């Protein structure tokens, strides 16, 4: 009987550890995303020279055709955060706009791309930073974690 209780406890501990590692390992970029609030200093569509977009009825267009390079100067630190993005919403953003964006980092075990961001998701877009309403409360942070506008 003691062995069965011990086995149950070990099984539960192993499952909890596995779940914890899976949440933080497989979803690293989502869990450790960074909130950047500031002025857009650069937003450029990545131009792939010599590429023609040809599809059939069943084929989908490669999303890399709609890539953007994004640079945002953070209001708090003054640091410029950069990332590439396949989010087509960046086409509506002009240089000088004030935005709230989520930057998704590469995991640290991807050594060739560690400390860089692979996606920038536009959450809110303002003409200038005077219009910006920055919700830094607990509910604002919770909404950002789940990417709710």
- 3 state SS of 45: strand
List the domain boundaries for the chain: 1-31, 33-145
How far apart CA 108 and CA 114 sit, in angstroms, is 5
- pLDDT tens digit string along 46-56? 877 666 666 66
In the predicted model, what is the mean pLDDT of residues 90-119?
Answer: 93
pLDDT tens digits along 15-35: 999 999 988 888 999 999 999
Closest Cα partner for 83 from 124, 128, 138, 41?
A: 41
């Amino acid at each position: 009987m003691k062995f069965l209780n011990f086995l149950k406890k070990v099984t539960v501990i192993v499952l909890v550890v596995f779940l914890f590692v899976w949440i933080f390992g497989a979803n690293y970029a989502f869990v450790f995303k960074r909130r950047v609030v500031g002025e857009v200093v650069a937003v450029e569509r990545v131009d792939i020279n010599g590429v023609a977009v040809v599809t059939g009825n069943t084929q989908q267009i490669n999303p890399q055709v709609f890539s953007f390079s994004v640079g945002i100067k953070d209001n708090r630190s003054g640091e410029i955060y950069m990332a590439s993005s396949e989010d087509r919403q960046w086409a509506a953003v002009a240089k000088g706009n004030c935005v709230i964006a989520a930057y998704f980092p590469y995991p640290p075990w991807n050594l060739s791309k560690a400390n860089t961001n692979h996606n920038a998701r536009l959450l809110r877009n303002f003409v200038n930073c005077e219009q910006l309403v920055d919700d830094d409360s607990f509910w604002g942070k919770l909404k950002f974690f789940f990417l709710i506008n």
